[in-house]
Amino acid sequence: MTKLDYGQGNLIKKGPSVNFWRAPTDNDYGYNMPKLLQVWKEATVTQNLTSFQLNSNDGKKVIDAVKLSKNPFKIKNNLQLTATYSLPSVEGEATVTYAINNKGEILVNTDLSNIKDSLPIVPRFGNNFIIESTYDNVNWYGRGPHENYQDRKTSALVGTYNAKVKDLYFEYIRPQENGNRTDIRTLSFLNNKGKGIQISSSKLFGFSAHSQYNSDFDEGMEKQQRHTYDIPQRDLININIDYSQMGVGGDNSWGLLPHEEYQIKPDNLFFSFMIQPVK
């Protein structure tokens, strides 16, 4: 996806891509996550397009959207675009299908396949994309108002919340993963005229949004001892829509992984969400 215009001009700066990585937390460095789970960072960075198909269901030849029937959203008279990527670092494959109707609704399906159970746990599975910075009014129905993760969410109650993108950033003294929200039902990004996009799914999902790239918070293989003032403010909104992100803490910060129930086991995973216009 390179362009998305609902009457306010193109709001897409970078279309959705499959994402398996998060910036390491202090706890992650304790068990050497950047090295232990490195193949998933490589799978995020290196994705080779192996096929691309465009079809419609108006009576002509149709190639079935990947597992479209798994989602209760019904998009009729749609165009279906299917892109398949090889993931060399994990010897797997990711297939992304867009089903687009004449209302401007876009169903995005991501199917991860050929994943061996001998691989390390997955830090995150979802989609990342970037939109124009003018759509910085965020409304969500899910856990909030403060950041929360699947193993750190007891105090974040389910409700309807709104914030500016800049306020979703939690400024840890050393840059790291931050600002996630879980158990989301619906999510919107609007400009000052109340126009923009709404994101929803048939299942609970997670999200984060920043005026920085994911990589801006990533110190690399070892801590660089950067500080909050080292993080640039960019003219964009970087959005993560997640099937899941692994927990952020073990029982200590010098060697233990998140508890097993908060890990994402390597497997053939599927995630689907809808983008709709707010006009």
Q: Where are the domains of the chain?
A: 12-278
**Whether the predicted model's global pTM rises above the 0.85 cut:** yes
241 CB-near residues (< 8 Å, 6+ apart): 16, 126, 127, 128, 129, 187, 199, 205, 206, 207, 273
pLDDT tens, N- to C-terminus, the chain (279 residues): 899 999 999 999 999 999 999 999 999 999 999 999 999 999 999 999 999 999 866 544 333 443 443 444 555 667 999 999 999 999 999 999 999 998 999 999 999 999 999 999 999 999 999 999 999 999 999 999 999 999 999 999 999 999 999 999 999 999 999 999 999 999 999 999 999 999 999 999 999 999 999 999 999 999 888 898 899 999 999 999 999 999 998 888 999 999 999 999 999 999 999 999 998
CB 47 within 8 A of CB 66: no
pLDDT at 78: 79
Contact 87, 43 (CB under 8 A): yes
pLDDT the model gives residue 55: 83
For position 250, what pLDDT does the model report?
82
Torsion of CA 144, 161, 169, 264, to 10 degrees: 50
**CATH entry, 12-278, from 3.50.50.60, 1.10.1200.10, 3.40.50.1370, 2.70.98.10:** 2.70.98.10
